[in-house]
Structure 1
Amino acid sequence: MNFLRTQTNYLEGTILLIRIGVFIFWLIHFLPFRVIVAIGNGLGTLLYPLAGERRKVGMINLALCFPDMSDAVRRKLVREHFKVFCRSLIERSILWWSSADRILGLIRVEGVEHFEAIKDKPSILLMPHFVGMDIGGQWVALHTDGVSMYANQKNRYLTELLLKKRGRFRHQHLYSRQQGLRPILKCIRAGRPFFYLPDQDQGVKDGAFIPFFGVPAATMTSVPRIAQMTGARVVPCVTRLLPGGEGYVLTFYPAWENYPSGDDIADTRRVNEFIEQRVQEIPEQYFWLHKRFKTRPEGAPPLYPK
Structure 2
Amino acid sequence: MDAHTAQGPYRVPFHPRMLHPRYWLDWLAVGLLALFAFVPPSLRRLLAYPLARLLKPLCRKPVAVARKNLASCYPHWSAAKRERLINQLLVTFVCTGLGLGELALRRKSFLSKRIEIDGLAHLEAARAEGKAVVFLVPHMFALEYAAAGLAMTGLPMIGMIKHHRSPVLNWAAYRQRLRFGGELFHRDAGMPTIVRQLKQGNSLFYLPDQDHGEHCSVFAPFFSCQKATLPVISRIARCSDAVVVPLSVGFVGTDGRARIQLDAPLPLAKLDKDEEARLLNQQMERLIGRHPDQYMWFLKILKSRPLGEPKLY
Say if 1:37 and 1:244, in contact at 8 Å, map to a contact too: no
Q: Is the 8 A contact 2:131 2:201 kept in 1?
A: yes
2:81 corresponds to 1:81 = no
2:199 to 189, 211, 214: 189
Q: Which residue number corresponds to residue 118 of structure 1? A: 126
Equivalent residue for 1:150?
Answer: 161
Correspondence 1:251 to 2:261: yes
Partner of 1:178: 188
1:269 aligns with 2:278: yes
- Structure 1 runs of 4+ aligned residues shifted over 4 Å read 11-14
- Report the secondary structure of 1:179's partner residue: coil
Who is 2:145 aligned against? 135
Give a deviation string over 1:208-235, Cα, whole Å, max 9, x none: 2232224222222231221121121111
Q: What CA distance in whole angstroms lies between the structure 2 residues aligned with 1:160 and 1:84? A: 25
* Cα distance between partner residues in 2 of 1:66 and 1:280: 12
State how far apart, in whole Å, the 2-side matches of 1:23 and 1:82 are: 22
The counterpart of 2:65, out of the listed 36, 49, 57, is: 57
Preserved CA contact (<8 Å) 2:219 2:228: yes
Partners of 1:283 and 1:49 in 2: CA distance: 22
Q: Which residue number corresponds to residue 231 of structure 2?
A: 221
Code of the residue aligned with 1:164 in structure 2: it is R
CA contact (8 A) 2:246 2:262 kept: yes
Alignment partner of 1:103 out of 102, 105, 111: 111
| CA-CA distance at 1:131 after TM superposition | 1.4
Instruction: Check the 8 A contact 1:39/1:90 in 2, yes or no.
Output: no
Q: Which whole-Å CA distance do the structure 1 matches of 2:160 and 2:214 have between them?
A: 19
Of 146-155 and 201-210, more deviation after overlay is shown by 201-210
- SS for the counterpart of 2:80 is helix
1:21 matches 2:21: no
CA contact (8 A) 1:132 1:238 kept: no
Could you say which residue in structure 1 is the equivalent of 2:292? 283
Aligned with 1:108: secondary structure? strand
Q: Answer with 60-69 or 211-220: which moved more.
A: 211-220
Q: Which residue of 2 aligns with 1:92?
A: 100
Contact 1:40/1:89 (<8 A) preserved: no
Gaps of 5+ in 1: 1-10
CA contact (8 A) 1:61 1:288 kept: yes
What is the RMSD of the two structures over their aligned residues, measured on CA atoms? 2.0
Q: Are 1:297 and 2:306 matched, yes or no? A: yes
Distance in 2, Cα, partners of 1:132 & 1:93: 13
Is the CA contact (8 Å cut-off) linking 2:26 and 2:166 kept in structure 1?
no
For the residues of structure 1 that align with 2:56 and 2:89, how far apart are their CA atoms? Answer: 9
> What residue is the counterpart of 1:7 in the other structure?
none
Deviations 1:222-279 (A, max 9, x none): 31221121121111111111143141211111111x3132413312321110111233
* Counterpart Cα distance in 1 of 2:109 and 2:23: 32
Q: The residue matched to 2:211 in structure 1 has which SS?
A: coil
How many Å apart are 1:201 and its aligned residue? 1.8
CA–CA separation in structure 2 for the residues paired with 1:163 and 1:207:
31
Q: What is the percentage of aligned positions where both structures have the same residue?
A: 27
2: distance between equivalents of 1:299 and 1:268?
20
Equivalent pair of 2:218/2:277 in contact (CA under 8 Å)? no
Compute the displacement of 1:205 (Å): 4.5
The code of the aligned residue for 1:302 comes to K
* Larger deviation, residues 62-71 vs 258-267: 258-267
Secondary structure of residue in 1 paired with 2:93 = helix
Question: For the residues of structure 2 that align with 1:98 and 1:193, how far apart are their CA atoms?
Answer: 24
Per the alignment, in what secondary structure is the counterpart of residue 188 of structure 2? helix
CA apart distance, 1:111: 1.1
Aligned length: 292
In 1, Cα distance between equivalents of 2:216 and 2:236: 12
Q: Which amino acid aligns with 1:227?
A: A
Pairwise CA distance, 1:126: 1.2
Which ranges in structure 2 are unaligned for 5 or more consecutive residues?
A: 1-18
1:211 aligns to what SS in structure 2? Answer: strand
> Residue 247 of structure 2 contacts residue 287 of structure 2 at CA under 8 Å; is this kept in 1?
no
Residue of structure 1 aligned with 2:250, choices 237, 240, 264: 240
Shift of 1:112: 1.4
